[in-house]
Amino acid sequence: MILSTDDAALFYRAYGALLAWVNDQRRIVPSFRRPQPGEPIEPESAFQIREVLWADDGLRERFLVEGAAELASAECDLIASWAHRVSGNFVVFKHLQKYSIFLGKDVFHVLGLYTPLAQLLPVVPKFVEAVLLPFRDVIVTDGLIGSPAIQIGFGGGARRSLERQYRQAKADGTIRTSLCAPAVTPVAPRRRGKRVKVAPASAAQPFHGDWRITATELWDRDALDAFEPARIGFAGPRIGRLAMIAVQVDLDCRYGERNGAPLVEFSFAGDDDGHPCTGRGWATLDADGQLRGRLYLHDGDDSAFVAQRAPAAPRPAKKKRETR
């Protein structure tokens, strides 16, 4: 029901560095001591910093670009994956041998960090406020679980309703054991003899067009623009293009939403200075109008990036018609 000791230490190295950097940027509390392996997070200060951090995902992305130099790639990858977090109110329904069951809009299998959740929350069902984070292929909390001052009791009818939700998700195979892949929406079966009309990909619209890559975690502007201005572009329900340094690749895109922000996830294939190049990536469109995401080159580097919409090319002037 908990991570291994090494994995828990990795989590706290990443999360502690992120919280400390956010506090340095925003001056939320006078001082913050980073959590050490085997020690719990100091809750009073950490809760205040965490509220600011998760309310503005641009802070996490800026940290990867500006403040993560001391971290190894494993810690940076972990922080990058936290774009897929799920925040809100949950009911901790029951504790099983390998994980605890959290009920919200979806049903989640959740592990503890250093301490089993059954020890932290011995009386269940219980309402909690939590942030669920991906840790590779499992789900953990961020170590800070809040609960209302007055707990609402669960009578027999409420418990039966929770049990129905859990059993239905189990029967449907929709219990979420990982957050790195989007939740699967069941698809209605086709009726024989009728064509299924595909809805327009309106989710792609916010991303449509060219975006100028302005900053990355690994490469400076001169390197990015070595051959041409670094760009990423989206030109339809599935098609895109990425060009930076010597990389020229085509994107295969999927669109959706995460935490209320438009999301695009993509794989890519093409050429890197005469060599085959493949990989994957994602980006969200933030409230400030900038694109923030991460690129993963197969068997190579990965980096956070920031892009802003490129100005539209001016239309050529219409030629005057000659009259005779």
Asked if the structure places residue 129 within a domain, the reply is yes
Positive or negative CA dihedral for 62, 183, 185, 303? Answer: positive
- Of these ranges, 42-46, 127-131, 297-301, the one predicted with the greatest mean pLDDT is 127-131
Contacts of residue 256, defined as CB under 8 A and 6 or more positions apart, other chains included, come to 182, 203, 262, 263, 264, 265
Asked if the structure places residue 316 within a domain, the reply is no
Residue with tokens 């294939």: 269
Positive or negative CA dihedral for 105, 110, 115, 117? Answer: positive
Average pLDDT over residues 18-42: 81
Domain with residue 296: its CATH number is 2.40.128
Q: Which domain, by its residues, includes 129?
A: 5-172
Q: How far apart are CA 218 and CA 231, in angstroms?
A: 16
Q: What is the pLDDT of residue 11?
A: 92
Structure confidence at residue 150 as a pLDDT band (50, 70, 90): low
Average pLDDT over residues 250-275: 87
Whether the CB-CB separation of 293 and 282 falls below 8 Å is answered with: yes
Contacts of residue 207, defined as CB under 8 A and 6 or more positions apart, other chains included, come to 234, 253, 255, 262, 264, 283, 285, 291
> Do 258 and 140 share a domain, yes or no?
no
Q: What is the pLDDT of residue 312?
A: 62
Q: What is the pLDDT of residue 194?
A: 41
The average confidence (pLDDT) of the chain is 84
Q: Which residues pair with 242 in a beta bridge?
A: 232, 249
Asked if the structure places residue 228 within a domain, the reply is yes
Q: What is the pLDDT of residue 198?
A: 35
Please give the angle made by the CA atoms of 142, 259 and 175, to the nearest 5 degrees.
70
Task: List, in sequence order, every beta strand (DSSP E) within the chain.
Answer: 86-95, 100-103, 107-110, 126-135, 138-141, 209-216, 231-234, 239-244, 247-258, 261-272, 275-285, 291-297, 302-309
> Do 206 and 128 share a domain, yes or no?
no
> Do 166 and 208 share a domain, yes or no?
no
Structure confidence at residue 297 as a pLDDT band (50, 70, 90): confident
> Do 124 and 255 share a domain, yes or no?
no
Tell me how many domains the chain contains. 2
Q: Between 100 and 209, where is the model more confident? A: 100
Average pLDDT over residues 270-280: 85
Please give the angle made by the CA atoms of 84, 243 and 67, to the nearest 5 degrees.
45
Q: Strand, helix or coil at 86?
A: strand
Q: How far apart are CA 235 and CA 205, in angstroms?
A: 9
Q: What is the pLDDT of residue 218?
A: 87
Q: What is the pLDDT of residue 111?
A: 96
> Do 30 and 135 share a domain, yes or no?
yes
Asked if the structure places residue 315 within a domain, the reply is no
CA 108 from chain centre, in angstroms, equals: 16
Neighbours of 36 (CB within 10 A): 12
Of 97-106, 107-116, 255-264, minimum mean pLDDT range: 255-264
Asked if the structure places residue 322 within a domain, the reply is no
38-81: per-residue pLDDT in tens?
A: 666 677 888 999 999 999 989 999 999 899 988 998 999 999 99
The last residue of a domain, from among 150, 172, 194: 172
> Do 38 and 133 share a domain, yes or no?
yes
* Of 2, 31, 36, 43, residue with least CA distance to 16: 36
Q: How far apart are CA 236 and CA 137, in angstroms?
A: 31
Q: How far apart are CA 171 and CA 268, in angstroms?
A: 35
Query: Residues in the chain, how many?
Result: 324
Q: What is the pLDDT of residue 192?
A: 43
> Do 49 and 167 share a domain, yes or no?
yes
Whether the CB-CB separation of 191 and 246 falls below 8 Å is answered with: no
Structure confidence at residue 239 as a pLDDT band (50, 70, 90): confident
Q: What is the pLDDT of residue 45?
A: 86
Asked if the structure places residue 301 within a domain, the reply is yes
> Do 164 and 211 share a domain, yes or no?
no
Q: What is the pLDDT of residue 106?
A: 93
Whether the CB-CB separation of 209 and 307 falls below 8 Å is answered with: no
Average pLDDT over residues 285-293: 90
* Beta strands across the sheet bearing 86-95: 107-110, 100-103, 86-95, 126-135, 138-141
Q: Is the full-model pTM beyond 0.85? A: no
Q: Strand, helix or coil at 166?
A: helix
Q: In the chain, what percentage of residues exceed pLDDT 70? A: 85
Asked if the structure places residue 21 within a domain, the reply is yes
151-205: per-residue pLDDT in tens?
A: 667 788 888 899 999 999 988 889 999 987 444 444 444 444 443 333 344 666 7
Q: What is the pLDDT of residue 191?
A: 42
